[in-house]
Chain A
């Protein structure tokens, strides 16, 4: 073997330097900021007229060590607690829906057939739509006056249920109020969060389906065949064979999607703007508000983002352990 020992370092070096500079440096710097009072509000018009202020390093900032004050403040900040709450529910809903719908799509699409193949090809499309655009297009489609989703939900779900309710109401004793046809989706605290999660699900369920299709393809067809010969029906095969075999992949995909969901930001900006009344302010969105929009409190924003880093680090450790275990 003629390979020289110093060669790999030369090859790896440049990439390592760049990854180090763009990930470790900011992590350390943010940690440092988080223990300091570092507020750029000295230039009040900054948020609006930032261009003129940006180049002026002379804007003096109060720069003093405040130890853990920023962190202490976070846990008595009701808006931050709210954002933790919002992020938690957003993650639960979007991860749950993405994985379940992804699994259903994968099971349907997995077989051979012309329509199956076409659908498999189309599954990549939502990945190509940028999250920011996703948010705008969902906001447009959910509008209560001219949104196509709003119309579809009314026609497919609300009206048939109302017909049933009316029928039930003709009975002498019962009286159920019909469902409202004019829910303003993004103005309702619950529905706004739910629809935000739905827009995320639209982007991710097809991708997760693709991941499952790959995993299903690597399962030996003979296993399904054996189950069929033993007289299992489709549902039984799904519950007793497919699902147990997919378990490791489902676990990894769920963890990965959880990590992505916790970092959600783009659609909040373009779809709900955090509203109504902070009902969709995720952690990332709130940090952005604190650091760059409403205030310019870099120290506090750094502390908040470090809380997110800690949560994600725990998850990442679990994830890495799981992935390595598999190998």
Chain B
């Protein structure tokens, strides 16, 4: 009887170890599949941006890399030789430098305006008990469900007629910055509030006891402590306004941000994929670094802390 059990046991353990090996192999395969699923579009876009034009319309992965696509999207259309044939082939300069400038300025200004407002508001929501505190927070949460097109329509008609320095706001950076607030500010308030909530209140109490007033406590005690949170929220807000497309299309218009400039890479034969890819790299690569930086906070930010 005892012998029988032992034999049974050893049989099971070899069987188990085989099964475990197979399981591990399947898991590695699954991981590789996930990596391929995530990275293929990014890899393919990156590769295409270095392809010579004639290789773009093949699935070849062996080619001589070139920087010509980058040169084309950034040149203003006058520097290329063989003017005639290149124009015919759609290889005229796309002049995207202003678009990069627009994207950077709009995103930076959005962050610089939204984050200070969000910081002091988030601090008050977290630390003070005042009438309507909770209700207002929930109201701010629900503003993220308003479809952007509803915000865009009235601002389109408003900015058409509002003149600043004799120019309508429509199609300007300021116009786009204002409407960007509608998506960036609610997220920033919720995100920073999360960081303030996580901060123990004792240090602030001690400062009050020492005779500091409300603003001194906020400025000299709390603010330095939530600085990392403010930085994360700033990066998140930057990514949101950088990747924003609908407002850029309707309100930004001829003041093209990079997202809209992607659409200018078409020619007679359709989208010039190698040029689109090069512009896409400019759009995407800086954001990769920023996203890596706030990797651990993206989920909290997107869900406004609902998933924990």
Contact = CB atoms under 8 A, between A and B. Distances in A.
B239 A128 contact: yes
Given A15-B121, A202-B41, A50 B253 contact: yes
Contacts of B181: 18-19, 22
Contacts of A22: 151, 178-179, 181-182, 185
A27 to B, nearest CB: 6
Contacts of A27: 146, 150
Most chain A Cβ neighbours within 10 Å, of B143, B163, B178, B239: B143
A124 interface: yes
Interface stretch (A130-138, A163-171, A175-183, A186-194): A130-138
Given A109-B31, A124-B291, A132 B254 contact: no
Given A146-B56, A206-B38, A15 B120 contact: yes
A123 B271 contact: no
A319 B144 CA distance: 12
Interface string A1-26: 11111011101101110110011011
A245 interface: no
Contact of A263 (B56, B148, B295): B148
A245 B179 CA distance: 40
Given A124-B292, A124-B295, A148 B40 contact: yes
Contact of B150 (A3, A126, A146, A308): A308
A173 interface: no
A1 B208 contact: yes
A129 interface: yes
B23 to A, nearest CB: 8
A211 B39 contact: no
Interface stretch (A71-79, A88-96, A223-231, A252-260): A252-260
A57 B133 CA distance: 41
Contact of A108 (B31, B41, B44): B31
Nearest to A315: B145
A265 B154 CA distance: 18
B99 interface: no
A128 B125 contact: no
A55 B165 CA distance: 12
Interface residues of A, number: 102
Nearest to A133: B280
B32 to A, nearest CB: 8
Contact of B262 (A11, A270, A287): A270
B13 interface: no
Contacts of B18: none
B117 A145 contact: no
A26 B150 contact: yes
A158 to B, nearest CB: 15
Contacts of A8: 124-125, 127-128, 130, 133
B284 A128 contact: yes
Interface in B110-152: 117-118, 120-121, 123-125, 127-128, 130, 133, 136, 138, 140-143, 145-152
B234 to A, nearest CB: 15
B153 A30 contact: yes
B42 interface: yes
Interface string B203-222: 00000100001110010000
Contacts of B271: 136, 139-140
A93 to B, nearest CB: 17
Nearest to B271: A136
A19 B140 contact: yes
Contacts of A266: 245-246
A269 interface: yes
Given A9-B130, A124-B295, A253-B307, A130 B287 contact: yes
Interface in B157-192: 157-158, 160-161, 163, 167-168, 170-171, 178-179, 181-182, 185-186, 189
Contacts of B31: 108-109, 115-116, 119
Interface of A: 1-5, 7-9, 11-12, 14-16, 18-19, 22-23, 25-27, 29-30, 33, 38, 50-51, 54-55, 57, 105, 108-109, 115-116, 118-119, 121-134, 136-141, 145-148, 151, 202, 206-207, 210-211, 214-215, 218, 234, 249, 252-253, 256, 259, 262-263, 265-266, 269-270, 284, 287-288, 291-292, 298, 301-302, 305-306, 308-309, 312-313, 315-316, 319-320, 323-324, 326
7 contacts: A12-B124, A29-B157, A50-B254, A133-B259, A137-B277, A140-B276, A302-B150
The 6 closest A-B pairs by CB, nearest first: A29-B154, A15-B121, A22-B182, A11-B124, A130-B243, A8-B128
